[in-house]
Amino acid sequence: MRWIMLIAISIALAACAQPTPPAPEPQPTRVFTVYFDASSADLTPTAQQIIGDVADSLRKASPSKIIVEGQALAAAPGDAELAVKRADTVVAALVKAGVDSGSIVRRTALVGPATSDPISRVSTQKVLVEFLP
């Protein structure tokens, strides 16, 4: 009889226990790349379209911070200023698209040594936009 009571109590307690919910999966970091023409901080039509995609994704993702990093090739004295202008152009376009400027962190980077390789040059004429969870 005692065994039956112990089994019944064990079953009742097991039925009351709540399973531990699974931990939420971490949100992946999302990175967009906005390319610029050589020696330019003006948005191309393709870059404007990417900015629109970024703004749409921001509305869906609601990241805590948005990192906007302007990049330029470290080949000439004006490259640092160009990286800043590119980042500022993207920040302004995002704000114009309705993104809260308080969530944007702007930074710049000069990348790579001077090179005559056209592919390397294009890969440094950009701004990276990264969403942080």
Note the pLDDT tens digit of each residue in 36-72.
Answer: 998 899 999 999 999 999 999 888 888 889 999 998 8
Domain assignment present for 8: no
| Structural domain of 114 | 27-132
DSSP state of 26: P
Measured CA to CA, the distance from residue 1 to residue 82 in angstroms comes to 85
Q: Alpha carbon of 40 to those of 63, 88, 104: distances in Å?
A: 29, 12, 22
- Confirm if 112 and 92 have CB atoms less than 8 A apart: no
Decide: pTM greater than 0.95.
no
Is the residue at 15 inside a domain? no
Quick: pLDDT tens for 27-39. 556 899 999 998 8
CB atoms within 10 A of CB 47: 21
What pLDDT digit, counting tens, does each position of 81-93 carry?
999 999 999 999 9
Answer yes or no: is 81 within a domain.
yes
Tell me whether residue 19 is in a domain.
no
Number of domains in the chain: 1
21 occurs within a structural domain: no
CATH code assigned at 115: 3.30.1330.60
Q: Is 36 left (phi over 0), alpha (psi -120 to 50) or beta?
A: beta
